[in-house]
Chains A and B, each alone.
Chain A
Amino acid sequence: MLRLSKILPSVARCVRNLQPRLMYSSKNKDKKEKKSDIRVTDHFYDCLIIGAGGAGLRAAYGLVSKGFNVAVVSKIFPTRSHTVSAQGGINAALGNYEPDNWYWHFFDTVKGSDWLGDQDAIHYMTREAPKAIFELENCGMPFSRFKDGKIYQRAFGGQSLDCGKGGQAHRTCAAADSTGQYMLHALYGQAVRYDCRFFVEYYALDLIMTEERCCGAIVWELGEGTFHRFFARNTVLATGGAERSYFSCTAAHSSTGDGTALATRAGIPLQDMEFVQFHPTGIYGVGVLVTEGARGEGGVITNSKGERFMEKYAPSAKDLASRDVVSRSATMEILEGRGVGPEKDHVHLELMHLPKEHIRKQLPGISNTVAGFTGRDVTKEPIPIIPTVHYNMGGIPSNYKGQVVTQLPDQSEQVVCGLYCCGECACVSVHGANRLGANSLLETVIFGRAVADTIADLNKPGDDIPQAEEWMGVPAMDNFEKLRQQRGTRTVGDLRLELQKTMQKYAGVFRNQELLAEGCVKVFDLYKELKNVSVCDDSLIWNSDLVEALELQNLFINSLHMIRSMEQRKESRGAHARDDFKVREDEYDYAQPVDGQQKRGIEDHWRKHTLSWLEVETGKVCFTFRPVNDHTLDEDECPPVPPIIRKY
């Protein structure tokens, strides 16, 4: 018998990729025992990347440029990924507007995270940011320019000079007001240049895991209705967030938390899922985002009295305070009766005082979007806005090298062999309890590259790939077939709407024990209703009803993590604000001098990462904790920032 290990690795890979097909048999529900034989094709690659947005594409071409054989699997065409909708910009201390220093960016990010961010990862991200921008620019990204030809940088929320002492910083590099679109297209261009192998409209059903490592994933090809097992020495999850758990969100329909659900089903915990960012300026009634860049260019938020109310809540930063501060302030104005509109349930964003030419040049995209969705002319009328779900700070726990980490029973950490993650689905954590605007696009390219570099450091092209075994992927196929043949009384759309409205009501901007506890019970009860969902289409080719049913399973997993984590965290920090626990509970009371205080043990305070463990069969969630890393990679180069009370 020909031993593949004895012949050239490249030839071995070609031969293995032509493996005879594995047959999967499933019994039909009616008792006539009619089997549907589903064929599964095996593929073998050095690396498998699931998700082709900003992070996935950066990891992909990074790996291909180092000689690895890479398969990129995506349920949508890469340029349709949600990265395309990002508007405002990408932060880096280039100093093109005024003298700048990456340490100040580091400080702002640590403060923005409300001291829940891991300072080693933030050090890495902010230090590498200028290089990442130059790399993007060299790829052809069409940044806007200043008169001297340098990359245009605008003001953005939470960005300051000299660690908060020097006023507003202009650190956000921008390409008009659709930076995400141009970045994603530039990254896709690089993926084309390096001839990355894409598998487009392939839906990842589950990871293939053994006791020792991740071996790859089992995937459904929508275009042909066939199934594929991708075996890879290294698997990267880059699947984005789960904002579609909520009724009103800025995110695309594709943001259904698939990667975080894949990790959960693989027995990996999720981290900090209670921290959900509400962006202050989503268009009322529609959810579509109006970029923070509108405020960066001089826009202001007003109430029914025409007052610029942020001056009251954030005297220094005003409308450019951190997003959680602005969202809470706007919600409080509405709750206290100063909202606008017939139901006084939203506020206004005003750009009318800005020069028309400036709006036309710097904010063309949102001018069109507002005109299209509301009929209003931003140069003459205010934009109706309301805080809208926008980003998941939480996700799959990982380190700054992009390796997924889990926790052992003795509370020590262990890297999950062969599994990496980057982008919004990861929780490194660089954003902690709240993300600053324009740090997300940065995170995608920095950690996409970090994953590629780490894999290249630890592996060589042609290293052994996990062996295929017959049992691999069978549980995923069982779930798939069961769902496809399920006939119940509820439709996917109906159950999904009820989940979204429940999350919107019980897990909103302001939370309390009564609301959260009731919300947990309701989401848990709705989860049981998944068994009652009817998939009306039983085809295998482009069965969008079944895709949405599988996505709904993932949304439920994410929602359970989110709402249970919110209920268990008994403090307010960053984007998690509770009426009944209004104060941040740290190891010291930082409102007082630290000298003379006794340091509280980790069980007695909340400045720690939540790890939530979900049992998929029952929906039950339990919790452990992980300390925040307050040490940077090099304390001479980057002194850590000790916690203080967070004010803007």
Chain B
Amino acid sequence: MFSMKVSKLNKKHFQIFRSVSTANVKEFLVYRWSPEGNEKPRLQSYLVNLKECGPMVLDALIKIKNEQDPTLTFRRSCREGICGSCSMNIGGANTLACTSRIKEAGKPTKIYPLPHMYVIKDLVTDMSNFYKQYASIQPYLQKSAPLQKTETPQSVENRKKLDGLYECILCACCSTSCPSYWWNPDKYLGPATLLQAYRWIIDSRDEKQKERLKKLEDTFSLYRCHTIMNCAKTCPKGLNPGKAIAEIKKLMVSDKSASAF
């Protein structure tokens, strides 16, 4: 009986065995949910041969979509960490899929959408509240005089104050890693928006610092930050929104026109 079974093995079977033994197969567990249909969310397992895949998690997702499951849906664009489209929760941390290296060894990598966001489909979340909050802090230079016909000089020292702030790509990894933002996303502005608010507050060319600070004077917009610092830990660009928020709070206290609570 045994010899009959062995004789049925042929060249094709040996080729498969050989490829499995030379492959470096990694399992990805990816959150799936479709708004069309009645199924509940689930984790779907995909196996990827890392020897035939680029080094980043986005490379694996694209390979899965191209070769195994074209219905897998996620946002992506630049693939170099500058546009902020592919932010998602990978292995428990919010980051950009395109700059997140695949951890080769060990357990399967779990990929979820950004936490505590309404899911449109699979890894695509509804970012409209996040964008609305960003617009609310007036992310543009404000001066009392009309637009100049020449440049406004800015010293190297003043320009340096923007370092660590202006590089933000609005990926929302920080805000969606913040427990305070999870509990009050409609009223607390969150780390990303506050980092951007501070970027405009301390830009030496902007003339509306007092007004910008006044807009943050309520119990929720700024003061729901409790220095949990998930934001700084998770930022894929290495920025520190928690520190920017602390700087705003210092300005709020030192600004005599701010009303005290």
Nearest Cβ distance between residue B139 and chain A, in whole angstroms? 4
Interface residues of A in 488-506 (CB under 8 A from B): 491-494, 497
Which size bracket describes the interface of A in this complex?
35 or more
B66 x A493 contact (CB < 8 A) = yes
B36 x A493 contact (CB < 8 A) = no
Interface residue B106 (Cβ < 8 Å from any Cβ of A): no
Other-chain contact of B151, A134, A369, A541 (Cβ < 8 Å): A134
Q: Give the nearest-CB partner of B149 in chain A.
A: A134
Tell me the count of chain B residues lying within 8 A, CB to CB, of chain A: 60
Indicate whether A145 sits within 8 Å of B77 (C-beta atoms), given known contacts A79-B170, A140-B206.
Answer: no
* Binding stretch for chain B, among A181-189, A567-575, A580-588: A181-189
B140 x A140 contact (CB < 8 A) = yes
Interface residue B49 (Cβ < 8 Å from any Cβ of A): no
Q: Give the nearest-CB partner of A497 in chain B.
A: B66
Interface residues of B in 130-150 (CB under 8 A from A): 131, 134-135, 138-141, 143, 147-150
Interface residue B249 (Cβ < 8 Å from any Cβ of A): no
Q: Give the nearest-CB partner of A86 in chain B.
A: B82
Nearest Cβ distance between residue B190 and chain A, in whole angstroms? 17
A253 x B76 contact (CB < 8 A) = yes
Interface residue B1 (Cβ < 8 Å from any Cβ of A): no
Other-chain contact of B77, A146, A252, A494, A542 (Cβ < 8 Å): A252
* Binding stretch for chain B, among A148-156, A327-335, A395-403, A616-624: A148-156
Other-chain contact of A137, B73, B124, B151 (Cβ < 8 Å): B151
Other-chain contact of B138, A142, A193, A548 (Cβ < 8 Å): A193
Interface residue B39 (Cβ < 8 Å from any Cβ of A): no
Indicate whether A541 sits within 8 Å of B170 (C-beta atoms), given known contacts A85-B78, A252-B83.
Answer: no
* Binding stretch for chain A, among B161-169, B209-217, B223-231, B253-261: B161-169
Interface residue A378 (Cβ < 8 Å from any Cβ of B): no
Taken together as a complex, chains A and B put the C-alpha atoms of A225 and B37 apart, in Å, by 14
Contacts of B85 in A (CB 8 A): 76-77, 80
Indicate whether A541 sits within 8 Å of B84 (C-beta atoms), given known contacts A138-B141, A140-B140, A491-B70.
Answer: no
Other-chain contact of B71, A200, A286, A536, A540 (Cβ < 8 Å): A536
Other-chain contact of B155, A140, A149, A182, A288 (Cβ < 8 Å): A149
Interface residues of B in 108-161 (CB under 8 A from A): 120-122, 124, 126-127, 131, 134-135, 138-141, 143, 147-156, 159
A140 x B200 contact (CB < 8 A) = yes
B82 x A541 contact (CB < 8 A) = no
Interface residue A544 (Cβ < 8 Å from any Cβ of B): yes
Taken together as a complex, chains A and B put the C-alpha atoms of A601 and B138 apart, in Å, by 58
A545 x B121 contact (CB < 8 A) = no
Nearest Cβ distance between residue B200 and chain A, in whole angstroms? 7
Contacts of B155 in A (CB 8 A): 145, 149
Interface residues of A in 214-231 (CB under 8 A from B): 223, 225
Other-chain contact of A494, B66, B73, B79, B166 (Cβ < 8 Å): B66
A186 x B140 contact (CB < 8 A) = yes
Contacts of A289 in B (CB 8 A): 80
Q: How many A-B residue pairs have CB under 8 A?
A: 161
Interface residue B103 (Cβ < 8 Å from any Cβ of A): no
Nearest Cβ distance between residue B34 and chain A, in whole angstroms? 6
Interface residue A84 (Cβ < 8 Å from any Cβ of B): yes
Taken together as a complex, chains A and B put the C-alpha atoms of A135 and B78 apart, in Å, by 27
Taken together as a complex, chains A and B put the C-alpha atoms of A373 and B58 apart, in Å, by 13
Interface residue A553 (Cβ < 8 Å from any Cβ of B): no
A133 x B151 contact (CB < 8 A) = yes
Other-chain contact of A145, B126, B149, B156 (Cβ < 8 Å): B156
Interface residue A147 (Cβ < 8 Å from any Cβ of B): yes
Nearest Cβ distance between residue A249 and chain B, in whole angstroms? 11
Other-chain contact of A76, B77, B122, B170 (Cβ < 8 Å): B77
B83 x A85 contact (CB < 8 A) = yes
Nearest Cβ distance between residue B84 and chain A, in whole angstroms? 7
Nearest Cβ distance between residue B129 and chain A, in whole angstroms? 13
B140 x A190 contact (CB < 8 A) = yes
Other-chain contact of B154, A85, A145, A190 (Cβ < 8 Å): A145
Interface residue A105 (Cβ < 8 Å from any Cβ of B): no
B139 x A145 contact (CB < 8 A) = no
Interface residue A346 (Cβ < 8 Å from any Cβ of B): no
Interface residue A525 (Cβ < 8 Å from any Cβ of B): no
Indicate whether A372 sits within 8 Å of B99 (C-beta atoms), given known contacts A139-B140, A544-B74.
Answer: yes
B141 x A79 contact (CB < 8 A) = no
Taken together as a complex, chains A and B put the C-alpha atoms of A145 and B156 apart, in Å, by 6
Taken together as a complex, chains A and B put the C-alpha atoms of A539 and B66 apart, in Å, by 18
Interface residue B65 (Cβ < 8 Å from any Cβ of A): yes
Interface residue A254 (Cβ < 8 Å from any Cβ of B): yes
B149 x A82 contact (CB < 8 A) = no
Taken together as a complex, chains A and B put the C-alpha atoms of A225 and B167 apart, in Å, by 34
Other-chain contact of A84, B54, B75, B78, B203 (Cβ < 8 Å): B78
Which residues on B are within 8 Å of A, measured CB to CB?
Answer: 34-36, 54-55, 65-67, 69-85, 99, 120-122, 124, 126-127, 131, 134-135, 138-141, 143, 147-156, 159, 162, 166-167, 169-170, 200, 203, 205-206
Query: What are 6 A-B pairs at a CB distance below 8 A?
Result: A84-B83, A138-B141, A140-B206, A143-B159, A189-B140, A537-B71
Q: What 6 A-B pairs have minimum CB-CB distances, sorted nearest first?
A: A493-B66, A140-B141, A149-B153, A189-B140, A545-B70, A537-B71
| Additional 6 contacts, C-beta under 8 A, given A137-B152, A138-B147 | A79-B169, A85-B82, A134-B148, A185-B139, A190-B140, A536-B70
